[in-house]
Amino acid sequence: MSDAAGEDPRGPAEVMRLSAIRRRIARHMTASKTAAAHTLMAIEVDYSAVDEARARGRTSGHKLSYLPFVACALASTLKEFPRLNASVEEREIHVYPRFNLGIAVDLDFEGLIVPVVKNAEGLDLLQLSSAIEDLSTRAKAGKLDVNEVAGGTFTITNAGGYGTLFTGAIINHPQVAILSTDGVNPKPVAVPRGDGGYDVAVRPIGVLAMTWDHRAFDGAYTAASLKDLKDRIEGRDWATELRAAIDAAKGA
């Protein structure tokens, strides 16, 4: 809107044409919102067991983020809840036996690309971490092969490095779900005692938020899968798994 003198009261705008990648993202995201029945559900996770493993990893020269732990646990969850690892095609749901994990990678704030870790269910912690880092590095350098951005069955978007609390991501259509891994921060939590009471402790807590297509399944299925993922992240002996992965890498 202009003022009486014909000037925009907001000041002269800098006009920026949408780049080719922004136009592609716009088309894809708009098509996804139009086609899929987007629904959001989230759960808090205690990353204490993960932090213990990460600390041990650092002492042996392996600096791991939270992402490979989430991805490794997710691979197990998808075996129990296979309809998450699927796509909607016309009037059919196609459920896939392999977990091809797409990782959303930011390209210096100019766009996103989603390289795919193929057969992620067969990789251990170190292998997943290495594959994710390799694909992300080459994505930012523009050195991905076309086959490395194809064939994804499930996507993770990871804004947690910025300390985000909660992200409602858009599904990477025709996939049926996308998981956001947000920031992990120390928080006071109630810890049950054996006598039925509670103590207060500070734990590393983060939110996992899943956007899912309500055409493919319902809320109970999503809630159960998120609880399963939470239990795996909190309850697995990650330190032992990481030690085994390190030993396997040394023997390779």
Gap between the Cα atoms of 42 and 33, Å rounded: 19
Instruction: Say if CB 173 and CB 31 are below 8 A apart.
Output: yes
* Catalytic entry in 28, 38, 62, 214: 214
- Residue 28 has φ and ψ, to the nearest 5°, of -65, -45
Residue 99: how many other CB atoms lie within 10 Å: 25
For the question of residue 214 being annotated catalytic, the response is yes
3-state secondary structure 29-41: HHHHHHHCCEEEE
**171: closest CA among 21, 22, 33?**
33
DSSP helix/strand/coil, 224: helix
Which residues are annotated as catalytic?
214
